[in-house]
A and B are shown apart, each in its own frame.
Chain A
């Protein structure tokens, strides 16, 4: 099988990412996005980044996607108010995207080392190794990210709270 796993999963994730953008029904978009995140989890496993694979699985496919589905079901979107851009704008957007990908690949073509990716340290992406890194060198950013999550939680609750009518 060799490298064919990578190419198969990469094709799968590109197809499902395209379906996310071009699916008519938002629910289908969310389901395709879950499929995309699952293929990304497989990519992390293939890179032997097991901690990231687990975190991607739990945080993205568990938390974020449930949040998306929840909001989508809560808003109860009908077919009538499904917004649609004009064909011209769509074509322009796709052309702009094509220009971007050509520019990115063209500019990185000369800079890239074409050596195959190899894992020098087998337990690079394991929890033990990353934990030592996280609680050693990255201690302060880790604590700050907890502050960020707290403020995001407070902000989300404050934003969605119903406005109370205040007199004066």
Chain B
């Protein structure tokens, strides 16, 4: 494992930032263009993962384990969020027979 990391030492931190920015943006685009509620949830997961990876990269950069502890907390939060969110989706499907988020536009007012 150590020798594997020796090869990684030439990757600049900025490339991690760009990579995570791209993944985060893909998640944002997914939330914007899709209407299937489950796909929107998956896009949110993508965004959370991008942030997680960036936190881990910065934790390595600053030699500080707190960043990786935060990633652990974010993972616990994501698990809770997915459980509640998917149960809400199941409820919506049971009431409207659809998971199209436009069915819920009456929530706007």
Binding site for B on A (CB under 8 A): 1-3, 5-6, 10, 13-14, 17-18, 20-21, 26, 29-30, 33, 36-37, 40, 43-52, 55-56, 59-60, 63-64, 67-68, 71-72, 74-75, 77, 81-85, 89-90, 92-94, 96-98, 100-101, 104-105, 108-109, 112-122, 124-125, 129-130, 133-134, 137-138, 141-142, 145, 148-149, 151-153, 155-157, 159-160
Most buried by B among A52, A59, A81, A153: A52
Decide if A125 touches B53 in the complex (CB within 8 Å).
no
Q: Is the CB of A116 within 8 A of B10?
A: yes
CB distance from B42 to the nearest CB of A (A): 5
B29 touches A97 (CB 8 A): yes
A152 lies within 8 A of B10 (CB): no
**Which one of B17, B59, B63, B75 contacts A108 once the chains associate, using CB atoms below 8 Å?**
B17
Q: Mark B1-44, 1 if CB is under 8 A from A, else 0.
A: 11011011111111111110111111111101111101101110
In-complex Cβ contact of B56 among A44, A116, A145 (8 A)? A44
Contact A112 B84 (CB under 8 A): no
Which of A5, A108, A112 contacts B7, CB < 8 Å?
A5
Residues of chain A with a CB closer than 8 A to B100's CB: 81, 83
B46 lies within 8 A of A5 (CB): no
User: Interface on chain A toward B: helix, strand, loop, or mixed SS?
Assistant: helix
Min CB–CB distance B28 → chain A (angstroms): 5
14 A-B pairs (CB sep. < 8 Å): A1-B7, A20-B43, A21-B43, A29-B38, A36-B49, A44-B53, A46-B4, A68-B42, A85-B34, A124-B68, A149-B80, A155-B84, A159-B87, A160-B91
Interface size class of B (residues with CB under 8 A): 35 or more
Chain B residues within 8 Å of A, Cβ to Cβ: 1-2, 4-5, 7-19, 21-30, 32-36, 38-39, 41-43, 45-46, 49, 52-53, 56-57, 59-61, 63, 65-66, 68-69, 71-73, 75-84, 86-91, 93, 97-102
**Chain A residues with CB below 8 A from B79, complex form:** 59, 63-64, 149, 152
Tell me the smallest distance from the CB of B83 to a CB of chain A, in Å: 5
Chain A residue, CB-CB nearest to B23: A17
Which of B1, B19, B36, B63 has a CB less than 8 Å from the CB of A120?
B63
Q: Which residues of A have CB within 8 Å of B71?
A: 49, 52
Inter-chain contact B23/A133, CB cutoff 8 Å: no
Whether the pair B73, A145 counts as a contact (CB closer than 8 A) is: yes
18 A-B pairs besides A43-B56, A105-B21, A120-B63 with CB distance below 8 A are A5-B8, A59-B78, A60-B45, A60-B75, A67-B86, A68-B86, A81-B100, A83-B36, A85-B35, A90-B33, A105-B17, A116-B9, A117-B8, A118-B9, A130-B72, A138-B73, A142-B73, A159-B90
